[in-house]
Chains A and B, each alone.
Chain A
Amino acid sequence: MIEEYRGVWVFIEQSDGEIAGVSKELLGAGSKLAEKLDVPLAGVLLGEGIRELSSQVIGYGADIVYLIDHPVLKHYRTESYMKGVNFLAEKYKPEIFLYGATPNGKDLASAVATDLSTGLTADTTMLDVDIDKRLLEASRPAFGGNIMATILCKKNRPQMATVRPKVMKALSFDESRQGKIIEEEIVLNEEDMRTKVINIVKDVTKKANLADAHVIVCGGKGLGDAEGFKLIHELANTIGASVGGTRDVIEAGWLPHELQIGQTGETVTPKIYFAIGVSGAIQHVVGMKNSELIIAINNDPNAPIFEVATYGIVGDAHEVVPKLIEQVKQLRVEQGGEVSYV
């Protein structure tokens, strides 16, 4: 039975005529899996007036695009998208089906997995396949420990996973890539829908800023208390960086939760990432390890953050950071102008 299932699929998230970054990343990751399994990679594209996005899906690595274009699919809604995706999956039977771990991707994958009665691994950060058994190895940080767990779905198909944004690498866009577009039609009536999208509000909040920030100063519980955490704001202000915190910091109420970095918060990829008083638990590391330059300051020489950091300083943040602030200010004076890292 499960031998009937072939191929690697990626759900393509789109809005306003643009493909989500995570979908491009998944096409990149999916193409490696498809190559190992010697099967085509397909993108699943649903929406209204989205046919022209097919060439982009192919350009980012898909061999096939399964397309459903319908007015009822204008905005993402669980009930309409689920119908389309279930229909395609039941008809074409993929063995692996990946979704971005975004609000809509997680919502859709959860609904589809229930309907298809199959396994779904949440918030994956590593993907591989066991070629002989054709098993997807979806790994994610296991709760609590500095350890990863690989989740397998042996007997049910498709094997599904949601994947954290910004941890996989997209292929560079290749305009000349060729692929096949398979368009399907399904019956959807607006009057059957039990949900209506009234309004979509784009909100350029701190959260969005954090995801796009060039420099981030992140503080952990090593700062001691809310008073000690002010040092993080001070450094960030001095160098024009955004502030983030670990789960502990958010739980302690030192920062609002939209500034949490890590597995259950934001994944960030700034140019420079300062981890100050951050121990480097795997939950945190998966959310920042792709930053270009990582600088860690921690008084525990054995803290795992030093394994991730490009440069580390073993020392008391309350001693090191004020000196750093002072020297940056000094530098600014010497250069006779403003030094801003933003």
Chain B
Amino acid sequence: MHIVVCVKQVPDTKIIKINPKTNTLDRRSAPAILNPYDAHAVQEAVKLKQALGQGKISVLSMGPPQATEVIKKSIEIGADEGYLISDRAFAGADTLATSYALSKALEKIAAKHPIDIVICGKHAIDGDTGQVGPGIARRMDIPPITNVIEVTKFDKENRIILVKRKLTNGYEELEVQLPCLLTVEKEINQIAYSPLPNMIRAARYKPNIWSVGDLEAVDKAQLGLKGSPTVVGKMFTPPKLDGGKLLEGAVDEQVKQLIEVLSERKELLNVK
């Protein structure tokens, strides 16, 4: 069983600062981390491998050379091998160009060792799109199952898995033939503490780094900025909304006014 997890290095949005002049984010202010959803994706691969008692977990990332850090982090969680595709030609890619580049790398990985499952995080916390996972699945012509909250059954013999997929109001249970691609929600698992041998292995691990030239049959027109149909047109501060009436006076006075407001607007309320 070969599971490949796609991971991304992202700025830690909990810590990141905003440049008050430009209103954009100051990327240098934030440490780079493994996208939290991707950490759960790696953890799920580890869980499946343990449940099956065998298998190999590879991780794949695209990014600058320092993105090897998130591959090492994945090794720490329990991945066996890591690949980074890193090249100026990939830079500026939107989701369409990203899924193309990653699918080319997956092709190369699969040529050596066929892939049974690809797992991605639901979305990356810097782009918040969730479009790359399904995009990869389409390019590999395998079914994408997004928003997975549980893998309930793994039928190795028939190469079928049962999964729960989150919906707007509840969830659905799906039976899926392998190979397939899953994107996972955070609730799918808890990140376990890494055992010491993993940490030692991660510290010493040197990921495979591929440039465009290392991939087969790549159409360069589909890569990076050139291969991206979407562009950022303009940035603007959102239109101001009405409102903004500040209540005045001491705290007691303000609270009193607020109670009056709430009592006045009874039409909004259902006072029993």
Contact = CB atoms under 8 A, between A and B. Distances in A.
Contact of B24 (A147, A153, A215): A147
Contacts of A314: 246
Given A145-B23, A337-B272, A307 B243 contact: yes
Interface string A76-114: 001100100000000000000000001110110111011
B173 A123 contact: no
A311 B134 CA distance: 43
A75 B165 CA distance: 13
Contact of A114 (B96, B127, B246, B263): B96
24 contacts: A103-B167, A110-B131, A113-B95, A113-B96, A121-B230, A137-B233, A141-B238, A144-B18, A148-B237, A151-B230, A152-B231, A152-B233, A153-B231, A195-B145, A195-B177, A197-B172, A203-B171, A264-B125, A272-B268, A295-B258, A309-B243, A310-B245, A320-B255, A328-B259
Tell which of A145, A149, A282 has the most Cβ of chain B within 10 Å. Answer: A145
Contact of A199 (B16, B145, B172, B262): B172
A151 B231 contact: yes
How would you classify the secondary structure of chain B's contact residues: helix, strand, loop or mixed? mixed
B51 interface: no
B235 A149 contact: yes
Interface in A184-201: 194-201
Interface in A292-322: 292-295, 301, 306-315, 319-320
B187 A195 contact: no
B168 interface: yes
Closest A-B pairs by Cβ, 9 of them: A144-B25, A119-B229, A203-B170, A110-B134, A122-B129, A119-B230, A156-B229, A114-B138, A150-B233
B212 interface: no
Interface of B: 11, 13-14, 16, 18-19, 22-25, 94-96, 99, 123, 125-131, 133-135, 137-139, 142-147, 162, 165-177, 180, 186-187, 228-238, 240-241, 243-247, 251-252, 254-259, 261-263, 265, 268-272
Contacts of A196: 174-176
Contact of A103 (B24, B165, B235): B165
Contact of B246 (A137, A306, A323): A306
Contacts of A294: 243
Given A103-B147, A150-B233, A340-B271, A199 B173 contact: yes
Contact of B233 (A110, A151, A319): A151
A110 B147 CA distance: 13
A56 interface: no
Contacts of A38: none
How would you classify the secondary structure of chain A's contact residues: helix, strand, loop or mixed? mixed
Contacts of B172: 75, 197-201
A339 B271 contact: yes
B174 A198 contact: yes
Interface string A240-254: 000000011001000
Given A113-B131, A155-B229, A142 B24 contact: yes
Nearest to A196: B175
Given A146-B23, A150-B234, A312 B244 contact: yes
Contacts of B272: 337-340
A257 interface: yes
Contacts of A143: 13, 25, 126-128
A114 B123 CA distance: 17
A201 B146 contact: no
Contacts of B187: 257
A197 B162 CA distance: 10
Contacts of A109: 131
